[in-house]
Amino acid sequence: MKILVIEDDATTGPYVAAGLREEGHTADLVTDGREGLLQATAADYDVLIIDRMLPLLDGLSLIKTLRGAGVRTPAIMLTALSGVDDRIEGLEAGADDYLVKPFAFGELAARVAALARRPGLQEQETVLRAGDLEVDLVRRRVTRAGQEIELLPREFRLLEHLLRRKGRVQTRTMLLEAVWDISFDPQTNVVETHISRLRSKVDRPFGSGLIETVRGAGYRIAG
Amino acid sequence: MSRARVLLRSSPVRQSMWLSLLFVIASALSLGVTYYVAHGTQDRAIRESLMQDMAGFRATPSAAALAALVNAETAETDPQRRLLSYRRPGGRIVAGNAAIMQQQEGFRVVALGPAPVEIAGRFISLSAYIHGGLLTVAQSARPLDELRQTYLRVVLFSLLPAIAAAVLGGVLLARRAARSLAGIETTLSALTSGDLGARVPQMPGRQGDIARIGRSVNRMAEAQQQSTEALRQVSADIAHDLKTPIQRLAVQLQRLQDTPGLPEEAQALAGTALEETRGITSTFQALLQIAQLEEGAPRARFEPLDLCELAATFAEIYEPAAEEQGRRLSLSLPEAPAMVTGDRTLLGQLLANLIENALRHTPEGSAISLSLRHQGEATILSVRDHGPGIPEEERGKVLRRLYRLERSRTTPGSGLGLSLAAAIAGLHGAALQLSDAEPGLRVDVVFGT
């Protein structure tokens, strides 16, 4: 993937760019808002990573200008702010995702991957499959190797979310947002607990693990 | 309060009411005095005419002549207006047009003639013994009654319209003033609820006191908005200037942790240090957030939400953590949804802070209960633990920023949880109350009172 990083901080910018390159992406780094705007409109990027506070042109105005000009490239906003309204302001300006500093690189990488493939979401499907696991979204039925599995509503949502994003890592905070509808991290092990319950129902009785733990990042179902 | 009552209580209406009352009293007084004088004059005129009549009759030489004169006058007199009666000592009527009889309830007058007719109405009479008989002359008091009628009509047709005009004028003035005041009132409540851009609509050309107050309110709002802007800017600058280095620190620690061949011990240290940076950020975040909330910022984004659903979600989220410590986190919800208008993220943080506070400051294995109940108009969200509680004299202080009880110095936490919860409650118009659960601490968040 071709990614543009617009970040003025001399440590964070290069670190993010280097990390993305290590993951096999092409990453360009610019350090001010005006340059970022020029670069984002000039070249064809798959994802933009934009710091909110930038010299010459701040991140919010930058993204508003881009959206106004019809540039639809998915964008993640990085910010040191995390006030009550800041997140919503960022999303309203046209950002697709929002990440508060300090963040772990794994979190950013997972969100970049999620954004890049967003249009590919299989929203229309009514039956999701992974190996011999089948989830019927209409009848709310889960079976594996033809055997029916009883899931609680939250476990069902968690499984559905992971299946819809097969092959992509979902971090704790992404799961909290999607499954529990919470946009802050309550610092509990609720995600881990639910993953473990889900495994005990979906994986353990069948002797093979569909739900993988990605160290330092999150969880995924291989696809 | 109904609109009419609000209007009645407004000062212009009350002023006009007082003025009308004063006007009524003055008019009633002057009308009363003229009536009294006119009545007296009329009354005197009647009595004088009676006395003249009597003098005329007295001038007759004999009883027979008197009777003849009375009869002559009677022939031309309407008994409804003038009564004459001359009777001898035996009681027999000698001459006249009326018989006056005393009865228990007063006098009865019967007109004599072809058919006796009882005469009603008030009369003023004069009696005298002349030539051995009793002569009574009486005149109808109808002119006096008519005078009274006239005065009543004057009152009705001049005073009442004047009062009506005064009241109507007062109400119109009051409505005009009420409109200007309502503009100020809505602006003030918009300002208090966080809409700092609200201004009193200006009516050009108006110079009245209300218009002046409106302009002062606008100047005040302007100043408030500017200082809030300044504070926001400072908060943003601090956040940026401190969080960016923290981010750098986190980045470097992460790189250290990822360095191949690092001894396990060093890796663990880097991990702990990373955790610390997260702690610093969350304290910092809470401080900034409390400042923002106390400014009364973002009520514009409030939406209706169900507290039951939120409480259930957070009970679920903290259940694993509670279980790990051998605790029971129980949840009790009302049957009906508990709708409030608010910000889901903030109310979630409030709940998270209260539950975390209970988990943190109570011994392992003790129970925590989360409950939601309706009480009259109010919806009360309570978190109750079985820990040591908070001494009464400290309860006010723990809501302050960074205040921690002496015994809690060693437990983790920023000392901001309860103050953030109180700030969030305040923004939602709810009150956060601490009380003794005997044993334990009980935190009530009272919505909608």
Domain map (residue ranges) of chain B = 1-192, 209-295, 299-447
**With an 8 Å Cβ cutoff, are A12 and B324 in contact?**
no
Q: How high is the pLDDT of residue A117? A: 65
Q: How high is the pLDDT of residue B137? A: 86
Q: What percent of chain B has pLDDT over 90?
A: 10
Residue B253 pLDDT > 90: no
Helical (H) or strand (E) element with A143: strand A141-144
Q: How high is the pLDDT of residue B415? A: 66
Nearest-CA distance A21 → chain B (Å): 15
Pick from A80, A184, A188: which is nearest to B349 by CB? A184
Do residues B342 and B428 lie in contact, with contact meaning Cβ atoms separated by under 8 Å?
yes
The predicted model gives B21-48 an average pLDDT of 88
The torsion defined by the Cα of B419, B424, B426 and B429, in degrees rounded to 10, comes to -160
The number of beta carbons lying within 10 Å of the beta carbon of residue A207 is: 6
| CATH architecture, range B209-295 | Orthogonal Bundle (1.10)
The owner of tokens 């008519």 is B146
Give the best residue of B244, B257, B323 to mutate against chain A (max A CB count within 10 A). B244
What interhelical angle do B264-294 and B209-258 show, nearest 10? 180
Pick from A11, A101, A154: which is nearest to B243 by CB? A101
Residue A137 pLDDT > 90: no
Do residues B226 and B232 lie in contact, with contact meaning Cβ atoms separated by under 8 Å?
no
CB contacts < 8 A, A to B, total 103
Do residues B130 and B57 lie in contact, with contact meaning Cβ atoms separated by under 8 Å?
yes
In chain A, which residue's Cα lies nearest the Cα of B294? Answer: A84
The band of B416, judged by pLDDT with boundaries at 50, 70 and 90, is confident
Q: What percent of chain A has pLDDT over 90?
A: 26
Looking at per-residue pLDDT, the higher value among B15 and A92 belongs to A92
Nearest-CA distance A146 → chain B (Å): 30
Q: How high is the pLDDT of residue A28? A: 92
Task: Give the Cα separation of B445 and B423 in Å (integer).
Answer: 11
Q: What is the pLDDT of residues A26-50, one digit of tens each?
A: 899 999 999 999 889 888 888 999 9
> Which chain A positions have a beta carbon within 8 Å of B239's beta carbon?
80-82
Nearest-CA distance B240 → chain A (Å): 5
Residue B410 pLDDT > 70: no
The band of B210, judged by pLDDT with boundaries at 50, 70 and 90, is confident
Q: How high is the pLDDT of residue B354? A: 92
ipTM tops 0.85: no
Q: How high is the pLDDT of residue B151? A: 87
Q: How high is the pLDDT of residue A118? A: 58
Q: How high is the pLDDT of residue B320? A: 85
Task: Give the Cα separation of B242 and A81 in Å (integer).
Answer: 10
Q: Which segment of A45-49, B52-56, B230-234 scores lowest on mean pLDDT?
A: B230-234
Residue B166 pLDDT > 80: no
For the ranges B170-174, B196-200, B325-329, the maximum mean pLDDT occurs at B325-329
Residue B446 pLDDT > 90: yes
For the ranges B204-218, B251-265, B284-298, the maximum mean pLDDT occurs at B251-265
Q: How high is the pLDDT of residue B104? A: 63
For B72, the 3-state DSSP assignment is helix
The band of B355, judged by pLDDT with boundaries at 50, 70 and 90, is very high
Nearest-CA distance A25 → chain B (Å): 19
> Which chain B positions have a beta carbon within 8 Å of A104's beta carbon?
250, 254
* DSSP notation for B97-145: SEEEEEETTEEEEEE-SSS-EEE-S-EEEEEEEETTEEEEEEEE-HHHH
The predicted model gives B403-425 an average pLDDT of 69
Of A92, A99, A7, A85, nearest in space to B288 by CA: A85
- Mean pLDDT, chain A, whole residue set: 86
Q: How high is the pLDDT of residue A123? A: 58
Task: Give the Cα separation of B76 and B67 in Å (integer).
Answer: 15
Chain A residue set in contact with B, beta carbons under 8 Å: 9, 11-12, 15, 53, 80-85, 88, 101-105, 154, 180-184, 186-190, 192-193
The answer to whether the pTM exceeds 0.80 is: no
The predicted model gives B180-184 an average pLDDT of 82
* DSSP notation for B384-399: EE-S----GGGTTGGG
**With an 8 Å Cβ cutoff, are A102 and B281 in contact?**
yes
- Residue B262 CA, chain-centre distance (Å), reads 73
Tokens found for residue B141: 């008091």
Fold entry, domain B299-447: Heat Shock Protein 90 (3.30.565)
* DSSP notation for B334-377: -SS--EEEE-HHHHHHHHHHHHHHHHHSS-TT--EEEEEEEETT
